[in-house]
Amino acid sequence: DVKVTQSSRYLVKRTGEKVFLECVQDMDHENMFWYRQDPGLGLRLIYFSYDVKMKEKGDIPEGYSVSREKKERFSLILESASTNQTSMYLCASSPTGTGNTIYFGEGSWLTVV
Amino acid sequence: QQQVKQSPQSLIVQKGGISIINCAYENTAFDYFPWYQQFPGKGPALLIAIRPDVSEKKEGRFTISFNKSAKQFSLHIMDSQPGDSATYFCAAGLGSGNTGKLIFGQGTTLQVKP
pLDDT in tens, B38-72: 999 899 999 999 988 899 999 999 999 999 999 99
Residue of B43, B51, B103 with shortest CB distance to A105: B43
Cβ-based interface (< 8 Å): residues of B facing A: 2, 6, 9, 31-32, 34, 36, 41-46, 49, 51, 89, 93-95, 97-107
The answer to whether A6 touches A23, Cβ cutoff 8 Å, is: yes
Residue among B58, B108, B99 nearest B79 (CA): B58
pLDDT of A12 above 70: yes
Cross-chain Cβ contact A107/B43 below 8 Å: yes
How many helices (H) does chain B have, and how many strands (E)?
Answer: 0, 11
pLDDT (average), residues A48-75: 94
Q: A57-65 long-range contacts, Cβ below 8 Å, gap at least 24?
A: A58/A33, A58/A34, A58/B101, A59/B2, A60/A36, A64/A34
Q: What are phi and psi of B52, to 5 degrees?
A: -75, 0
Q: What is the pLDDT of residue A113?
A: 97
Mean pLDDT rounded to a whole number for chain B: 92
Q: Is the pLDDT of residue B12 over 80?
A: yes
Tell me how far apart the alpha carbons of residues A72 and A33 are, in angstroms, rounded to a whole number: 12
Q: Smallest Cβ distance to B100: which of A4, A102, A107? A: A102
Work out the pLDDT band at A100, boundaries 50, 70, 90.
Answer: confident
pLDDT of residue B1: 57
Compare B27 and B77 and report the one with higher pLDDT.
B77
Maximum pairwise Cα distance, chain B: 45
User: What confidence category does residue A99 fall into, taking pLDDT thresholds of 50, 70 and 90?
Assistant: low
At residue A96 the predicted structure's pLDDT band, cuts being 50, 70 and 90, is confident
Nearest CB to A98 within list B31, B42, B43:
B31
Residue B72 pLDDT: 96
Residues A87-112, mean pLDDT to the nearest whole number: 90
**Cα separation of A31 and B25, whole Å?**
24
CA distance A15 to chain B (A): 25
pLDDT at position B98 over 80: no
At B83, give phi and psi (nearest 5°).
Answer: -70, -10
> Taking CB atoms and an 8 Å limit, are A94 and B100 in contact across chains?
yes
User: What is the rounded average pLDDT for all residues in chain A?
Assistant: 93
Q: Do A98 and B104 touch (CB under 8 A)?
A: no
Strand order, beta sheet including B19-25: B4-7, B19-25, B72-77, B62-67, B56-59
Over range A46-69, report the average pLDDT: 94
